[in-house]
Amino acid sequence: MWTYLTSFQRDEDGAVAVDWVVLAAPHVLLGVLIGDATMNGATAPATEYRRRPERADHTLGQPQTPGNQGRA
C-alpha cells in the first residue's frame, strides 16, 4: 500500500488537465460577468422606453432638457 501511495504522489498524469481547468475558470467567470453586465445595461433603457416612450432619451447619451428637446 505504501508503494502505491508514493507512486500516486509522484505521478504527474492528469496534472495538465488540472492546469487547464485552473487557467480556464477565470476566463469563463469573466465572460459570464461581462455578459451579465451587458444584459443589465441593455435591459434598463429598454424597460424605461417601454414604460414612457414619449420621455425616453433618443439621443444616445445626451439628456433631454427643456432647451434642446433632445436634439444634439
Q: What are phi and psi of 19, to 5 degrees?
A: -60, -45
Q: Which residue has the higher pLDDT, 15 or 59?
A: 15
12 domain residue, yes or no:
yes
47 domain residue, yes or no:
no
72 domain residue, yes or no:
no
C-alpha cell at 37: 453586465
Q: What is the largest CA-CA distance in the chain?
A: 85
57 domain residue, yes or no:
no
Q: What is the pLDDT of residue 61?
A: 57
Q: What is the pLDDT of residue 12?
A: 75
What does the pLDDT look like over 2-24, one tens digit per residue? 898 888 788 877 777 888 899 99
64 domain residue, yes or no:
no
Number of compact structural domains in the chain: 1
Q: What is the pLDDT of residue 62?
A: 58
6 domain residue, yes or no:
yes
Structure confidence at residue 33 as a pLDDT band (50, 70, 90): very high
Q: Which residue has the higher pLDDT, 44 or 10?
A: 10
